[in-house]
Structure 1
Amino acid sequence: MRTFLRTADGVRIDSVYEPGTVPHGSPRASSHGPGGPGDPVFVIAHGFTGDADRPHVRRVARAFARYGAVVTFSFRGHGASGGRSTVGDREVLDLAAAVAWARELGHARVATVGFSMGGSVVLRHAALSRDAGAEAGADAGVDAVVSVSAPARWFYRGTAPMRRLHWLVTRPSGRLVGRYGLRTRIHHRQWDPVPLSPVEAVPRIAPTPLLIVHGDSDGYFPLDHPRTLARAAGEHGDLWVEPGMGHAENAAPEELLHRIGDWVVARAG
């Protein structure tokens, strides 16, 4: 099922729903049948310059489909979605629209799994949703959160890939490269105000189960980023440091994706 969702600020988001392929007889299969409402739905938040049709995003979706249904979508400014990328700020509204759609389709358990930029977005979304639920007297959040290869803080320029990314985002010539070379339309405005940072968001997520995953060969964000997030999470967060793994979806091996699927099924209630 493919549709365009409308965010709270009016952006059209290209989104895809796929029922799960949980094998019959598997201990993961629910009483509702494979991919039924009793199974969790995985809402996948891709990294910067990705989109719902990229091969690495489709590979992740296929892996998680063995554990439940899957929603993939393209962040604003990416793929067929409208708008322009704000590199992790307004993207929280895109994820909120995808999570709401998953609920509307009948899934009682929703897990968000984000990679790189998407990893920072799932952290902020979980924190802001829990804050909104507390104000409304109800739980408006998700049932489990997985953040892979995410930064702990904004404006990090300590590695060559991140210095290149800052050039891409902040310079007119860089945004042209993004648009025509990487199929990513980037907004020219700077953040105002600066959004809640990932490390500030993490303590607000509790008691929702949280998994932080990071490769020890990540060329974008060194290990102080996941360790900082894990310290902020305290006892309610799990940290997996993956030997030899690089950055985000492209670097995530099948075995890791299946371990994440098992973790979500065990933690999402």
Structure 2
Amino acid sequence: MKRLFDAFAFDQERLTIRSGDRELSAVYVRASDDAPVFLICHGIGEQVEYWSGVQELLRTMDVSSLVFNYSGYGASSGRVSVAHCEEDAIAAYRELKDRGHQSIFLLGFSLGSGVVLAVAPGLKVDGVILCQGYSTLREAALAMGFRRWMTYAMPDVWHNFRQLNETTTPVLVVHSDGDQLFPVAMAKRVHEACGESGELIIVSGFAHDGPVYFPTETYWRPVVEWAERVSSRITVRELPSGD
């Protein structure tokens, strides 16, 4: 963690986002004016500073990004709750719209995959990216070592299979075969639930948090290339037809 904080390069890009009566700490990194932007919903226990390397890498590939701390995380005020996480993601989305971004992708990493799928149906986005995600929150808890009876005591929220039925935008599922927390079989099931709108990318060798703590183009370049293809298809579809 000390290495990540020492390498943090975006003090000038920090901002505060209002979410209800709460204030969210965030980092906004802008690439070129017409670049797509990734709205990043991070994983459990993470903070915006951990994403500095990813944001720098995305900028070199001409992708803007915004990562924020959920309520109760890091310097964000308030308390952690399912409702607050979802409200916070919507507030971050509005921040990007206010800044004039037209091509927005929701990127959920681990825990964040449930957050983005919960809010995606109500937002106008070009696509949804699920990195190192899970099938349902209860199955995720089981994979993390909770006893089965304990998982049934949890609220049945962030049920990604169910949310995918309501998601109409293109979906990219990205997972590492080295993820020892959520098995790659879980990602394949999520991809199957996407139907024709989904695409699956399996990368090799990364531990669960590896793509964040040790970001490389091996993991993130295919994500960017997918977003570029989706944005191009949407742009062509929205162009007025000739006479």
Given the two structures, how large is their TM-score scaled by the length of structure 2? 0.79
Pairing partner for 2:184 from 208, 211, 223? 223
Q: Distance in 1 between matches of 2:161 and 2:84?
A: 18
Q: Quote the residue 1:104 is aligned against.
A: 98
Pairing partner for 2:49 from 45, 48, 53? 53
Q: Quote the residue 2:76 is aligned against.
A: 81
Pairing partner for 1:63 from 57, 60, 84? 57
Q: Distance in 2 between matches of 1:260 and 1:97?
A: 24
Q: Quote the residue 2:160 is aligned against.
A: 198
Q: Quote the residue 2:111 is aligned against.
A: 117
What SS does structure 2 have at the residue aligned with 1:78?
coil
Q: Distance in 2 between matches of 1:16 and 1:263?
A: 23
Q: Distance in 2 between matches of 1:232 and 1:53?
A: 33
Q: Distance in 1 between matches of 2:111 and 2:214?
A: 15
Report how far residue 69 of structure 1 moved. 1.9
What's the CA shift string for 1:34-71, capped at 9, x where partnerless?
x20x22111112111111112xx111111111322221
Pairing partner for 2:208 from 238, 247, 258? 247
Do residues 155 (structure 1) and 157 (structure 2) align? no
Pairing partner for 2:125 from 142, 148, 172? 142
Aligned residues: 212
- Amino acid aligned to 1:149: Q
Report how far residue 95 of structure 1 moved. 1.1
Q: Quote the residue 1:137 is aligned against.
A: none
- Amino acid aligned to 2:112: G
Q: 1:251 to 1:155 in 2, by over 3 A?
A: farther
1:21-40 to 2 correspondences below 5 Å: 35-36=32-33, 38-40=34-36
Structure 1 segments (4+ residues) deviating >6 Å: none
Q: 1:251 to 1:200 in 2, by over 3 A?
A: farther
Given the two structures, how large is their TM-score scaled by the length of structure 1? 0.72
- Amino acid aligned to 2:115: V
- Amino acid aligned to 2:39: V
Q: Quote the residue 1:185 is aligned against.
A: none
> Which structure: greater helix fraction?
2
Q: Distance in 2 between matches of 1:211 and 1:150?
A: 11
| Contiguous gaps of at least 5 residues in structure 1 | 21-34, 130-139, 171-189
- Amino acid aligned to 1:197: H
What SS does structure 2 have at the residue aligned with 1:82?
coil
Q: Distance in 1 between matches of 2:157 and 2:42?
A: 19
The answer to whether the 8 A contact 1:42-1:110 is kept is: yes
Once the two structures are aligned, what percentage of the paired residues are identical?
25
Q: How large is the Cα RMSD of the aligned pairs?
A: 2.2
